[in-house]
Structure 1
Amino acid sequence: MDLDVFVTAHRAEWDRLDHLLKRGRRLTGTEVDELVELYQRTAAHLSQIQSSAPDPALTARLTQLVARARATVTGTRRASWRDATRFLTQGFPAAVYTSRHWWVPTAVASILVAALIGWWIAAHPEVQSSIAAPDDLRRMTRPGGEYEAYYSSHPAASFAAQVWTNNAQAAAMCLVLGAFLCIPVLWILLLNMLNLGIGLGLMASAGRLDTFLGLLLPHGLLELTAVFVAAGTGLRLGWAVIDPGPRSRRTALAQQGRAALGMAIGLALVLFVSGVIEGFVTPSGLPTWARIAIGVAAEAAFLLYVYVLGGRAARAGQTGDVDAVDRSAELRVAA
């Protein structure tokens, strides 16, 4: 793009838009239509300049102009209960549903890794001895030992709050750090699956795998699903940097980033539910089958929520991104 020629060709439109914006509420109906058209053109011009011939001064001027025009055209928009309801019934489940091709394989691969680690530890006493001394291993795996006492070591309410905070932080890290070419997300997943695999292996070696699963499954099904969704979304965000497709890398990252931000809010609510289960159900005196049934019911409810409400919203065009009026105009670029 020849920037000087481009500026000469469109300066009059930008000046006219600036003039109309300065007039404010004194515009006629025809002038309002003109303002909207010029706003759309200027937003497109800004996108072209950013992708083809970025010039700091010109970009700053057009960005300010587009922002002023957008505020005039759309007005000030405040979040409402209707927005929250729409997010919970359409935006969030649609975002999880549309990213299922990322988080479902992530979940399958992660569980396989944890299972392999658990088998390796259970089948090799020398690996167990490298983790801890024999007395320490017995203290961890015996009836009433550290693995079991962990869930009842604090009051249920404070324990649920602590668990929720820790898991929400892990999910947020997956979502945020995905932009760094996926590598931090894979590392976080590996650490989580390593911890899970160690627990599986040590308790299996002590002949108490059923006890471990009875403690893990009530809250772990929903908790791990939320972590896998966050990790899959983070990987999708990182892949947008590596391969943005027909969009500019900046546009692709912005789209996936906005969806990831909404995903963080939704997953915090999901992890709150799993934290409540871990704080109140897992250490309760309920039979093992009843505790597991509650966990299975919570997991099934979440999957139905995603695949029914989310699938319906996705087929209606929802992606989890913000509404068009709440984001700047964008253009496709050549691949």
Structure 2
Amino acid sequence: MDVDAFVLAHRETWNRLDYLTKHRRSLTGAEIDELVDLYQRVSTHLSMVRSSSTDSALTGRLSALVAQARAAVTGAHAPLSKEFVRFWTVSFPVVAYRARYWWLATTVIFVLVSILIGMWVAGDPEVRASIGTPEMIDQLVNHDFESYYSEHAATAFALQVWTNNAWIAVQCIAYAILLGIPIPLVLWINAVNVGVMGGLMFGAGKGAFMMGLLLPHGLLELGAVFLAGAVGMRLGWSVIAPGDRPRGQVLAEQGRAVVAVAAGLVVMLFVSGLIEAFVTPSPLPTFLRVAIGVLALGLFLGYIGYFGRRADRAGDSGDLADAPDVVPTG
């Protein structure tokens, strides 16, 4: 597509739609009909640009124009059921999919930091001695770690786990307001905690036992935390380096993306909390409990990959402001 020629050919149409949208409260009957017609035509232009051009500035401009015109034309929203379906098949998965490289990088760095700290703790008796007395460490690795998963009723424990994990994810989401700057510190603190615990358990010969309790729920749980951190940091970076688009527009779009991820993570963490409460402490064989955790993560990644890629290829950003309303009729 020749973007310059396309803009030149349709610029007057877009300007006219923008004018009618801004003056919608004082339009005549003929102008209302013109507004509906132009809305449908510019919606087609937006689809053409999304499928044939990589000009993000033009796509953003037309997306905003179509969203404003749609609100003026319809004055009503799509049924709640359609908005619900759109959220789970477009808004949430496409935002997670587009943040996949940030998500992967966050995961790799977190795991590497945890492993290095774990190896340091496990291999140095002086480090372990600085963490606690031999009696304290013995109590932790031989009693407290396992009893953590079974000392409370499963339903109460599920709520406790969900609340704790949600709080960590919420911190990452909330820190997006500060351009994601504090997020690495939050993740670092949690990586250190995981590494220290792993070092103590492996140092005491309880490494396999620890992984058998951690992996069933931890794969999905940490995946949610990493996603929250990745999206928050991506927002910050998009504001620092917005490309050829207005910084305010990028901030608004990415902010709405963070909201979408926050809502999706509520369900993701709820599922991991259920696994931690009912599967982790269960009498099932270790391999089966771990398999359930791997399956849960695999299903989630498959869901993101399928729906997120499909929406991304269709040019849908998942922006909540672009959610379709009732289609107007001329």
| Bin of the TM-score, shorter chain as denominator length | 0.7 to 0.9
Q: How far does the alpha carbon of each residue in 1:136-179 deviate from its partner, in whole angstroms, 9 at most, with x for none? A: 0010011xx10111011211011111111111121122122023
Checking the alignment, whether the CA contact within 8 Å between 1:92 and 1:266 is kept in structure 2 is yes
Gaps of 5+ in 1: 1-9, 39-66, 328-335
Partner SS for 2:77: coil
Change (3 A) 1:17 1:304: closer
Partner SS for 2:179: coil
Correspondence for 2:270: 272
Asked if residue 30 in structure 1 is aligned to residue 31 in structure 2, the reply is yes
Correspondence for 1:259: 257
Partner SS for 1:88: helix
Q: CA deviation at 1:309?
A: 2.1
Correspondence for 1:85: 85
Q: How far does the alpha carbon of each residue in 1:279-335 deviate from its partner, in whole angstroms, 9 at most, with x for none? A: 1000111111111011011011111111122212211122221243679xxxxxxxx
Change (3 A) 1:314 1:17: closer
Matches within 5 A, 1:313-332: 313-324=311-322
Q: Letter of the aligned partner of 2:254 in structure 1?
A: Q
Gaps of 5+ in 2: 1-14, 40-66, 326-330
Change (3 A) 1:303 1:259: same
Q: Distance in 2 between matches of 1:290 and 1:70?
A: 51
Q: Distance in 2 between matches of 1:212 and 1:287?
A: 14
Q: Letter of the aligned partner of 2:287 in structure 1?
A: W
Q: How many residues align?
A: 285
Change (3 A) 1:280 1:135: same
Correspondence for 1:102: 102
Change (3 A) 1:302 1:31: closer
Checking the alignment, whether the CA contact within 8 Å between 2:256 and 2:320 is kept in structure 1 is yes
Larger Rg over CA atoms = 1
Change (3 A) 1:133 1:36: farther
Partner SS for 2:182: helix
The CA RMSD measured in Å over matched residues stands at 2.8
TM-score by length of 2: 0.79
Q: Distance in 2 between matches of 1:97 and 1:69?
A: 28
Q: Distance in 1 between matches of 2:68 and 2:176?
A: 32
Q: State percent identity of aligned pairs.
A: 45
Correspondence for 2:175: 177
Checking the alignment, whether the CA contact within 8 Å between 2:83 and 2:323 is kept in structure 1 is no
Q: Letter of the aligned partner of 1:21 in structure 2?
A: R
Q: CA deviation at 1:244?
A: 1.5
Q: How far does the alpha carbon of each residue in 1:31-56 deviate from its partner, in whole angstroms, 9 at most, with x for none? A: 44259879xxxxxxxxxxxxxxxxxx
Correspondence for 1:282: 280
Correspondence for 1:21: 25
Checking the alignment, whether the CA contact within 8 Å between 1:103 and 1:232 is kept in structure 2 is yes
Q: Distance in 1 between matches of 2:247 and 2:285?
A: 52
Matches within 5 A, 1:205-284: 205-284=203-282
**Where in structure 1 do 4 or more consecutive aligned residues deviate above 6 Å?**
13-16, 35-38, 67-70
Q: CA deviation at 1:14?
A: 7.3
Change (3 A) 1:69 1:218: closer
Q: CA deviation at 1:273?
A: 0.6
Matches within 5 A, 1:73-222: 73-77=73-77, 80-142=80-142, 145-222=143-220
Q: Distance in 2 between matches of 1:16 and 1:240?
A: 29
Checking the alignment, whether the CA contact within 8 Å between 2:35 and 2:73 is kept in structure 1 is no
Q: Letter of the aligned partner of 1:178 in structure 2?
A: A
